[in-house]
Structure 1
C-alpha cells in the first residue's frame, strides 16, 4: 500500500471514529436521565437541546419553564415527596425559589456528570472501528472488502446500515396528551395587570391547561410567599454587613456555630453574611438541619453546603436528623462528620464530637444499639481525656445537646463544649473540673428560628441565633451571639472572653 493511500485510509478511519463516537455520545446524553433529590422530591433529570429548563410538577400543579438557561436545557420531572397539603407544597417551592443557588448548582453538576459519562462511552464506541481495523489485519481486511462485492456481502451491508434505523424507529408517533394541550404563559400574563410581580420572576413561564384550573390562585400565593421570603432574608443578609461585631484579629480564627436550622434555608445566606462580617473561615454545625431526617429534606442540606462551600465544615447530626441519611449526605458533600474521634481543627487545636444518641447515627459506636445519653457522654469524656493524656487537649467538643459534654467538662479534659437543641441561647457558663481545670459550655439558639421542629416560612417563626467562636493559639478565647428577630431587627451580644485552663 502506498504512503498516500495509507494516509487516506487513516484519515477515513479517524473520521469514521470521530463521527461514530460523537453520534453515540450525543445520543446517549440526550436519552440519559438521573434521579436525584431536588426541592424535596425524587426528581428525574433529563438534558435537552432546547436551551430551556422545564419543571414538570405533576398532575395537580402547573409546570414551569425558565427560558434560555444555556446551550443545554433540562427537564426536571418531580416525583414523590412528603407534604401535608398542596398549599404547603407550593409554599415550600416559593421558599426554595427565594434562594435557588443550591438546587441550580446541583442540577448543573448532574448534567455535567451525564455529559462526561456520555462522552466517555462515545469515545469507547468511537475507538471500536480502530480496534477492529487493527485486529483484522491487512489480509483479513482484504477478504472482508472483497466479500462486500458479492450478493451475500451486499445484503449483509444493507442489514448493517438498516440496524440504526430499526433501533431509532423514527416512524413511531405518540398519542396527543393533555400536557400538549396546555399553553405557556409568563407569570405577568397569568397574574394580570393588577398584580405587581418581582422583576426577576415576570418572565417565568407557567403551563396552564385543563388539569390546572386553580393555577392562578396557587401561583399568586407562591409569588407572595417568594416575595416576602426573599425580601426578608435578603434585607437581613445585607444588614449583617453593618453589624457591630468583633472581627478576627491577626493570628485568630473565627468559627460560625449554627444549630437547629430545621429546613430554613433562608437563614443560610444570613449566617454566611454574619461570618463574612467578622472574617470567619470555619462553620460548626450542631445538627437538626432537618425535621425528620428524610431524603426529601436534602434541599436543606444542599443549601447550607452551598452557603459555606469554601469554608472548613464540621457537623454532627441532631435528634431530629433520624437515621443515617443526613450524616451520609453531608459526608458525601465534603463535610467532616465527627464520629467520636479527635480530629485536627483549622485553628490549630483539636475537635471532638459525635451524633446525638437520640438519632440512629452514633459515630464509631453506632453498632452498639441502646446506648443511653449518659453512656454516650461517658464515651465522649473517655475520648477527650485520653487525648488530654497524650498531650492533645481538646479545644472544642461539638455536640447537638451541650449536656452531652458535661462529663468531659467535669473531668477537666476539654476547653469548650458547644451545642444547640433547646432553641434558647445559654452561656458561656464556667465549669470547674475535678482537677481544678476550667472549661466552658455554650448553647446556641435556633439558627432557623424554629418553633418546635418547624422553621419553614417567609421569616423565622421565632428569634434566629448564630454564634461566633474566636480561637487563638489553638484554643477558644471568646464567644459572641447574634440574633435576628422575627421583625427583622438585630440584637448583638457582647463578645465574652473565655480563659480555659
Structure 2
C-alpha cells in the first residue's frame, strides 16, 4: 500500500480541522438557541441550555424566580408552564416534596439537555460539512475564476452583503424590545429572614426580588417548611434502613425488591433503595399505582422511581387502576422498565414471569385491545395463559399484577409458584394455595409503599405506614418473602422471613 504524500495528507488534515472547527461553532450556536418542553415539578416546562453556570427557574407570576449554581460551566434556564394543581396550597405541597427528593427531576433535565446536545452536534456536523462540500464541488479552476471576478468593486459589494446577511442571521436585533429591568437577586436566607431555619442543602439558592414578589414570603416559608420536613423524615428513614436486621441472601440466592401504590410519594424512593442496597438486591418489581390519576403532571413520580433504580439489572412493572390512560406505561417503558404483553418473559435469577396491567386503566396490552373486558375476564385470560405455559413446560414462577385477586384462578389451577400485587394498601400473606393439580402456589400482597391514604401520598410525611417487601430467589424460583413496614413516626417493623416451600 502506497503511503499518502505529505502534501496531500496535510491538505486532508486541514479539511478535517476546518470541518471540526465549523461544526463545533455551529453546534454550540444551535445548542444555546435550542429548547425542549418536558414535564418538570408537575408543570409543562421549557428547558433551555446556556453557559451561565446556573440553574434558573422562572416560576410565574405568583412565586419569585429562583436560581442556584449548576456545579459546572453549563447552565439551564427553566420556564414553568401549565400545571394541573387545583389550588396554591396543593402546588406548594408538590414543590416541597419534589424539592426534597430532586433526583428524578434532575435526571429529566439532563435527558433533555443531552438530547439537545446530540441534536446540535449532528446538525452542526452536517452544516459544517456544507462549505467544504461546496468548496470541493466548485473545483480549483472555477475557484480561481471566481476569485479574479471578486477582486474588483463587485467583489467588495458581494462580500459586504455576505457579512450583513451573516450578522442578521447570527446576531438578530429586536429594535422594538424595551430595556430589561435590572435583576435583583438575593440569597434565600435574606429573603425569608433570620427566623426561618434553612437546611444546608438550600443555602446556595438565590431568589429574584422585585415588587411583584414582596408578598410571597409566606408561600416560600411554606415550601421551605415542607421541604425540610420531608427531607429530614425520609433521609432519616433511609439512614436507619441500613441498620435493619434484614435476612441477607445466601451465596446461591438473590433478592428482588417489591414496591407498590407509591401514589406520587417520591420520598420513599430513597428509602426503598437503601433497603435494596442493604440486602444486595439488583432487581425490582413495581406493582403499579405510581400515580394518583395517570396525568402528565405526575411524571415527576415516574422519573423519581426510575432514577432511584436506574442502575438495576432488571426492573419490571405493571400499571395500576389509578395509572389511568397510556401515559404511565409509555413513560416508564421509555425510562427502561419492562412491562408485559400477555406472554411469559424472563424474570430475576433466570426465572419466568407473567403479568398484566390492571384492566381498570387503559393502554394495557393485547387483551385490552379487545374492548369491554371486565376485571374477571382479564383474570381468566391471565390464568389461561399461565396454565397453557405451565403445560408447555414454561411454568411462570411469578405473576405480577396490581391486584393479586386477578391471578386467583392461576393459583387455584396450580399453574404458578407465586402471585404478587398491591392495590389494597395493606400487607397480606404469603398464603399457600394448593391447586386442583396438587401443586402449591402462594399469593402475597404488599401494602402501600407511598404510605397512601386513598390515592394521595405526596407530602412531607407518611399518611399511613409504608410497606416494602423482599422476595428471595434460588435457582430461578421464589423461596422466601420478608415484609418491612415504616410507621408514620419513623419506626421500623421487620417481619420474619417466610420460606416458600413447594
* Residue 24 of structure 1, aligned match among 2, 26, 30: 26
Label 1:20 to 1:173 Cα distance change in 2 as closer, same or farther (>3 A). Answer: farther
* Residue 357 of structure 1, aligned match among 356, 359, 375: 359
Report the equivalent of 2:247: 246
* TM superposition score normalised by structure 1: 0.95
**TM superposition shift of 1:67:** 2.4
Indicate if the aligned counterparts of 1:255 and 1:468 stay in contact, CA closer than 8 A: yes
**TM superposition shift of 1:47:** 0.7
Alpha-carbon distance in structure 2 between the residues aligned to 1:377 and 1:11: 66
Report the equivalent of 1:417: 419
Report the equivalent of 1:481: 483
Alpha-carbon distance in structure 2 between the residues aligned to 1:480 and 1:135: 71
Q: 5+ residue gaps in structure 2?
A: none
Report the equivalent of 1:233: 234
Answer with 155-164 or 73-82: which moved more. 155-164
Report the equivalent of 2:195: 194
Report the equivalent of 1:49: 51
Report the equivalent of 1:76: 78
Alpha-carbon distance in structure 2 between the residues aligned to 1:344 and 1:276: 23
Report the equivalent of 2:224: 223
Indicate if the aligned counterparts of 2:96 and 2:459 stay in contact, CA closer than 8 A: no
Report the equivalent of 1:287: 288
Aligned length: 496
* TM superposition score normalised by structure 2: 0.95
> Alignment partner of 2:416: what SS?
coil
Indicate if the aligned counterparts of 1:53 and 1:69 stay in contact, CA closer than 8 A: no
**TM superposition shift of 1:328:** 0.6
Answer with 355-364 or 477-486: which moved more. 355-364
CA-to-partner distance for each residue in 1:267-320, whole Å, 9 max, x for gaps? 011111111112212110000000000111010001001111111100000000
Report the equivalent of 1:172: 175
> Alignment partner of 1:478: what SS?
strand
CA-to-partner distance for each residue in 1:165-193, whole Å, 9 max, x for gaps? 1222347362245xx35521111111222
> Alignment partner of 1:128: what SS?
helix
Q: 5+ residue gaps in structure 1?
A: none
The answer to whether the aligner puts 1:62 opposite 2:64 as a matched pair is yes
Label 1:436 to 1:28 Cα distance change in 2 as closer, same or farther (>3 A). Answer: same
> Alignment partner of 2:399: what SS?
strand
**TM superposition shift of 1:397:** 0.4
What is the CA RMSD across the aligned residues, in angstroms? 1.9
The answer to whether the aligner puts 1:89 opposite 2:106 as a matched pair is no
The answer to whether the aligner puts 1:426 opposite 2:437 as a matched pair is no
Indicate if the aligned counterparts of 1:331 and 1:337 stay in contact, CA closer than 8 A: yes
CA-to-partner distance for each residue in 1:184-240, whole Å, 9 max, x for gaps? 111111122232211221221111222223221111111111111010000000111
Alpha-carbon distance in structure 2 between the residues aligned to 1:18 and 1:476: 55
**TM superposition shift of 1:418:** 0.5
Alpha-carbon distance in structure 2 between the residues aligned to 1:153 and 1:13: 25
**TM superposition shift of 1:426:** 0.7
> Alignment partner of 2:225: what SS?
helix
Indicate if the aligned counterparts of 1:353 and 1:398 stay in contact, CA closer than 8 A: yes
Answer with 144-153 or 377-386: which moved more. 144-153
Answer with 397-406 or 92-101: which moved more. 92-101
